[in-house]
């Protein structure tokens, strides 16, 4: 039986998980990237940017028909939360102290030209 993953550590049961991917997942869980994005924060960012909810959703490639469910559950999926965090960091960095200025982890390979075996294209 496969172990169940969770929203904060979504790759816990992954067969392709690496030490680096675990560090990245832990990094985002520690920053609360996913937990911090609720409807109130989404509204705040939309208001600050002077855009509609649909326009902000389009900026992060989020289908508009998912907004009602997200509002009801008060929860944004991880990829949406990360994109919103990046937009927020750029837009509000001079106006708010409760943002994550740089959400990117320091867990990636040191040499970006090095092709790792687990990231090489299939042959």
Instruction: Report pLDDT digits (tens) over 50-101.
Output: 999 999 999 999 999 999 999 999 999 989 999 999 999 999 988 888 888 8
pLDDT at 41 over 70: yes
Q: What ranges in 32-75 are assigned the alpha helix state H? A: 33-36, 39-49, 53-59, 67-73
Q: What is the pLDDT of residue 123?
A: 55
Give Cα separations from 123 to 17, 18, 79, 120 (angstroms): 21, 21, 29, 9
Residue 74 main-chain phi, psi, to 5 deg: 60, 45
Segments making up each domain of the chain, as ranges:
19-105
Q: How many angstroms separate the CA atoms of 40 and 8, rounded?
A: 20
- The residue with greater pLDDT, 104 or 106, is 104
Residues sharing a CB contact under 8 Å with residue 64, sequence separation 6 or more, in sequence order: 54, 57, 58
């Amino acid at each position: 039986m496969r172990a169940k993953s969770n929203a904060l550590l979504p790759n816990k049961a992954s067969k392709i998980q690496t030490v680096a991917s675990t560090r990245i997942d832990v990094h985002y869980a520690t920053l609360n990237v996913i937990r911090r994005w609720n409807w109130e924060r989404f509204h705040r960012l939309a208001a600050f940017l002077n855009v509609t909810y649909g326009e902000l959703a389009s900026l992060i490639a989020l289908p508009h028909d998912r907004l009602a469910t997200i509002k009801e559950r008060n929860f944004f999926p991880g990829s949406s939360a990360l994109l919103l965090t990046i937009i927020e960091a750029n837009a509000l960095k001079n106006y708010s102290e409760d943002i994550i200025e740089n959400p990117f982890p320091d867990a990636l390979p040191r040499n970006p030209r090095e092709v790792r075996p687990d990231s090489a294209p299939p042959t």
